[in-house]
Structure 1
Amino acid sequence: MATGASGAGKECAGMSRHSEKAREALMDAAEELFAVHGIDGVSNRRITEHAGTANHSAIKYHFGTRDDLLNALIRRAITEVSRFRAGLAVSEDRDGGLREVVTHRVLPWIYYLSDQPAPYCRAQFLYQVRGYPGLSNIGTELLSGDELQADLVGRTRAELEGIPASVIRARAGILGYMTLGICAEFERQVADGAREATWDELGYFLVDAIVGMVAAPSTAKSDFLDFGDPPFG
């Protein structure tokens, strides 16, 4: 009896691993196709075929709806970004300044984008999905319980004392979309062989640019710009 139970357990574990591999293959295929053709330009059937499965109902089986698939892709990305962010050192005396805050916001995304095999598509996928209905707040939702993230955001406000909160929010929104666009274009050039994959250099270039733009004096007569939360935290 024990032997039979053990054998059944191993069989279930094997099925679970197979199911997880199939799920990951579908996500990788969807991410690649969405990056190139857009969210609405790719059918579920095309995704399953690109993933190498003959089961055209695989997406419904593993995820449910198209929105559920997109949510799974974004959650996978943010989980990996959070892992990279947890590996960055933070000044214990809280004297790292605005640059440290921006570094912890930007570099984990750069590390995530650079940590991918060919074909290079992650930044292009995120750029495609940046304004897709229902996904705009998922980054905020997933990071809301992150104590490190909350501490860094608190430091941002302290560093920018004197600049209206609405201006900071608008600048963050602009910079979020701008950063995604720059990363997507850089990724396309890398994929085409037109540029070497020097992601670290791109990351620190973005940190420099964002620090300067966020901290610039506010001279507008009114606070009229509101681009919402920056995409994906």
Structure 2
Amino acid sequence: MKRRTLPAAAALAATATLLLTACGGGDDSAKANNKIAGADTGAGTASASPEASKAANFKRPAMTFPADFKMVFDRTEPSDDKKAAALGDAENFVRAINYGIVRQDAEDAAYKFYSTPGGTAQAYAKKQIKQYVDGGWTVTGVQRYSRAEVDMAGDGNRASVSFCDDDSKFYGKEVKSQKVLKTQPSAKDYYFFEIVMTASTEADGLWTAEDVQVQKEATQCKA
């Protein structure tokens, strides 16, 4: 059992198309919905300025995994702070999907924290988790992410983050029996992700996944 299955309409579009979306004016409804689901925000004071409110303290959800599962991110930290933050939270978004699977909770707060309400990314995360929960499966093995790239939009508040995902050593596992559902190596083990990340209007330093496109059988990602 491999995850990542998507309806045909959600298959990867051309990279330029998604980047143009990131560079455009954006959807006002997405901006309006850019609240931090699952965030533990600090209490404000009556005299707090808008700038102080925006920088309110918040706690990121803690995500820990069983010893038999690991996510490896092979990449270099971008020198630009915004690019580094967008990439880091894109990684947290895919990490949160696996965390929801491990917790067997399609409404887990972690993926909601790292995704924009109403966006395709949040719907994708929920779909991935739900299909595992419904099937009675969890995850095991190693997922390896590599070849990360970040392209910033002109306003500096949106970014297109892309990376490869090698699932050749990643498997589903039956929750009840703990049987590992191993598969033969194939092109189906490789995926190419492109995620539009948006800077949160509620907390400085937090980026949330708004839209996601996933190319299946991405053999260009094979080492």
Provide TM-score, normalisation by structure 2. Answer: 0.25
Relative to its length, the structure with more strand (as a share) is 2
Bigger-Rg structure (1/2): 1
Relative to its length, the structure with more helix (as a share) is 1
Provide TM-score, normalisation by structure 1. Answer: 0.24
